[in-house]
Structure 1
């Protein structure tokens, strides 16, 4: 039900009732403007795009808080989303007042503050998810982040670093009691949290394999705890006997006897976490003289690079790294595999080498 009436002061009052029976009204100086507004409302209702004008007045903080509580995320994902949605300048404002220009200005500001493009991309992804959910729940009619793109990041082949044998040797020599931790990162491709979560029972010394069954989550001693690994990251990594022998020596040296005992702990017997493990790595890196962009995760890239250089296919590398799909492995490491041009040259070179040598039957008839 909709109507337009003129008040005593000459102003035109347009009103309608929504499906819930709630009345909405606006005032216009001209009757045609009032009629245009009612037409727009009617069109939105017919196309299923109608949104209560007052719904968008909910603050961004209140909306995202309620939205995140409904998600079945791992704790680490929830923490990342919280940081992302709290980093926007409109967090105290209404959801319905945000437009594309606000989003673009926020991205530009984050870039000027020195945040890495990859970090901004992650934060934008969570903000986009929240706005998409607001559209689905009829909080807003359109998504202001639609079409907004994160800043361009440098290509992986230009930024990814891997260590050579001499550098790995120097790192191991400088590692001290942290050596075992470093070894499972560089020779078994463990993520930091996965290496920190290893227990004695996870090492199959005779079978030469390591099971990834948990990880340490949290950046501080107080927050660190054991949780299941990332989705689809449960796996068994097959490793050389030299690695299991080194881990066996570590076990004997540190008197690790309980199958459920942590394989690696700090000198005070605590869990390694993102902060203290990174601090230990900085000590090693400075002693060896490696640049600051070489992180513990570089060891995982080095492991993957070695598998690819040794001829391992995509699925083998995917399973060793614990990626959920081969496409993730290709997205990260495709530049390390031989290109089609390389394969074409190699295949043709072999053919030319054969063609350059006369066969015995040809020589016999000449």
Structure 2
């Protein structure tokens, strides 16, 4: 993970801390704004994502329309401050929920453009297009870090074809976050809330293999009493 981070252009490196340190989905990480960070309360508000609809970008609620607060570890807070020293937040304005032209007054009101000071933007100071990021930023970093094979040459049609790497996508950072939380002893209920899962049972089924060995802590507690 750290090797991939080092291989990313500096303006995108914070996304690794956001994904692995906060458990955000890719769209949520790309939609995170300065106003969402509460350094005093050590919390991050997850209120939106950058969503792609028919090749166009817009803001929208997180997946499942579930907003949430996530604890802000000091190391991630430090990374955010470091990023802010290098890259000032950029006010980005996009439609809400659907970028297509509204057909009714109700749609016009719902989809009216909104502006947020995004932490991570592209070189053109716009919201990051995930398709561009995955193909031209993330996968080259994976290759440079030795996680996947590099591109040898372009296809005849000019397309860039990487070796399959689904398990190494941005979502892997979210899995890392979940595994670290469970192995540290955090409850499944808390983790489900931080991940934005409506059902802790889903979280348990998905990440049960990361739970500490059953009975280990209980046995240690009993031993402490009788030893």
Distance 2:39 2:221 in 1: 42
How far residue 260 of structure 1 moved from its aligned partner, in angstroms, is: 2.4
Q: 2:126 aligns with which of 245, 263, 270?
A: 270
The 1:301/1:219 distance shift into structure 2, 3 A limit, reads: farther
Q: Does 1:331 align with 2:187?
A: no
How far residue 347 of structure 1 moved from its aligned partner, in angstroms, is: 4.2
Q: Does 1:309 align with 2:177?
A: no
Q: 2:139 aligns with which of 266, 282, 286?
A: 282
User: Could you tell me the TM-score, scaled by structure 1's length?
Assistant: 0.46
How far residue 273 of structure 1 moved from its aligned partner, in angstroms, is: 2.8
How far residue 202 of structure 1 moved from its aligned partner, in angstroms, is: 0.8
Distance 2:124 2:90 in 1: 18
The alignment partner of 2:45 has SS state of strand
**Structure 1: 4+ residue segments shifted above 3 A:** 345-355
How far residue 353 of structure 1 moved from its aligned partner, in angstroms, is: 8.1
The alignment partner of 2:11 has SS state of helix
Q: How many aligned residue pairs are there?
A: 185
How far residue 231 of structure 1 moved from its aligned partner, in angstroms, is: 2.1
Contact 1:186 1:303 in 2 (8 A): yes
Q: Does 1:174 align with 2:7?
A: yes
The alignment partner of 2:118 has SS state of coil
Contact 2:121 2:127 in 1 (8 A): yes
How far residue 266 of structure 1 moved from its aligned partner, in angstroms, is: 1.0
Q: Does 1:214 align with 2:48?
A: yes
Q: 1:243 aligns with which of 67, 76, 99?
A: 76
How far residue 199 of structure 1 moved from its aligned partner, in angstroms, is: 1.3
Contact 2:19 2:173 in 1 (8 A): yes
Q: State the structure with more CA Rg.
A: 1
Structure (1 or 2) with the greater helix fraction:
1
Contact 1:213 1:228 in 2 (8 A): yes
Provide the aligned C-alpha RMSD in A: 2.4
- Report the equivalent of 1:296: 170
How far residue 349 of structure 1 moved from its aligned partner, in angstroms, is: 6.5
In the TM superposition, 1:127-138 aligns within 5 A as: none
Distance 2:40 2:183 in 1: 27
- Report the equivalent of 2:162: none
Distance 2:219 2:74 in 1: 38
Q: 2:37 aligns with which of 203, 214, 234?
A: 203
- Report the equivalent of 1:151: none
Contact 1:232 1:324 in 2 (8 A): no
Deviations 1:8-41 (A, max 9, x none): xxxxxxxxxxxxxxxxxxxxxxxxxxxxxxxxxx
Distance 1:208 1:276 in 2: 32
Deviations 1:186-230 (A, max 9, x none): 10001000001111111112222211111111178x511111112
Contact 2:11 2:87 in 1 (8 A): no
Structure (1 or 2) with the greater strand fraction:
2
Contact 1:180 1:247 in 2 (8 A): yes
Distance 2:204 2:218 in 1: 23
- Report the equivalent of 1:189: 23
The 1:260/1:330 distance shift into structure 2, 3 A limit, reads: same
In the TM superposition, 1:75-114 aligns within 5 A as: none
Distance 2:224 2:45 in 1: 46
How far residue 246 of structure 1 moved from its aligned partner, in angstroms, is: 1.6
Contact 1:193 1:273 in 2 (8 A): no
The alignment partner of 2:64 has SS state of coil
The 1:275/1:352 distance shift into structure 2, 3 A limit, reads: same
Q: Which has the higher contact order (CA 8 A, sep 6+)?
A: 2
